[in-house]
Amino acid sequence: MSATHTLVIDRLGHRGEGVALVEGKPIFVPATLPGETVAVTIEGNRGTLLDILAPSPNRSAAPCPHFPACGGCQLQHLSAETYSQFKRSLVVDALSRAGVAADVNDPIIAYGAGRRRATFHATRSAAGFMALRSHQIHDLDRCPILVPALAQAPRIARDFASAVGPCDVAFTASDMGLDVAVRAKGTKANPKLTDLARAFDLARLSLNGEPLIIHRQPTVTMGRAQVPLPVGSFLQATEAAEAALAELVVKAVAGARQVADLFCGVGPFALRLAERAAVLAADSDSPAVAALDAAKRKAKGLKPIAAEKRDLFREPLGPFELNHFDAVVLDPPRAGAQAQIAELAKSKVKTIAYVSCDPQSFARDAATLVAAGYVIGPVRPLDQFAFSSHTEVFARFERP
Residues known to be catalytic: 357
Q: Which residues contact 25 (CB under 8 A, 6 or more apart)?
A: 45
For residues 298 and 225, the answer to whether their CB atoms sit within 8 Å is: yes
For residues 210 and 361, the answer to whether their CB atoms sit within 8 Å is: no
Helix (H) or strand (E) run with residue 250 in it: helix 239-252
For residues 122 and 165, the answer to whether their CB atoms sit within 8 Å is: no
Instruction: Tell me 203's DSSP state.
Output: S
Helix (H) or strand (E) run with residue 53 in it: strand 46-54
Beta bridge partners of 6: 39
Q: What is the largest CA-CA distance in the chain?
A: 69
Helix, coil or strand: residue 98: helix
| Buried/exposed 264-280: b ≥16 CB within 10 Å, e otherwise | bbbbbbbbbbbebbbbb
Helix (H) or strand (E) run with residue 173 in it: strand 167-174
